[in-house]
Amino acid sequence: MISYELLLYCVLAAGAYLLSMSLLLDWLERKLKLSSGVPEEMVETTGVRWTLANFTMELLFYVAIPMIVYSFFYYLLPFYGVRAGIASALFAFGLGAVPAMIGLAVRIKLPMPYLMYILFSILLKLIGCLAIIGYLYTL
């Protein structure tokens, strides 16, 4: 049975982590000037609207969908807790983000530090969110 109270705790805890990491990584990206090699017409202007839209998408794909899937497969997984969360994050990263970024790097000439930073930020967000979800399911 799915616990809606546990789902709410997962959304709040993982969402707080995701918000803090998103703000920190966006700030770091601006400080490192990673998008300086990208043509101006390809760079999206950031602001409050962009940040809210981006956070909403990330909350959906990094927290809500993995949380619902994890809640269904929780009893079937041979391992649990933070290890299950990290394993799920690495699985999603390997099957989702890496092939998409490799395909993007082949089709569009973007600076490699920028692409590597994007991959690193996706990995940090996925591991953190799914480790939190896995941890909360052990309580």
Per residue in 38-57, pLDDT (tens digit) is 777 777 777 889 889 999 99
Full DSSP string of 80-108: -THHHHHHHHHHHIIIIIHHHHHHHHHHS
As given in the structure block, the two tokens for residue 83 are: 């290890």
Q: How far, in Å, CA of 130 to CA of 111, rounded?
A: 29
Q: Delimit the domains of the chain by residue range.
A: 4-138
Record the pTM.
Answer: 0.86
Q: Which residues of the chain have pLDDT under 70?
A: 1
Q: How far, in Å, CA of 114 to CA of 120, rounded?
A: 10
Per residue in 115-128, pLDDT (tens digit) is 899 999 999 999 99
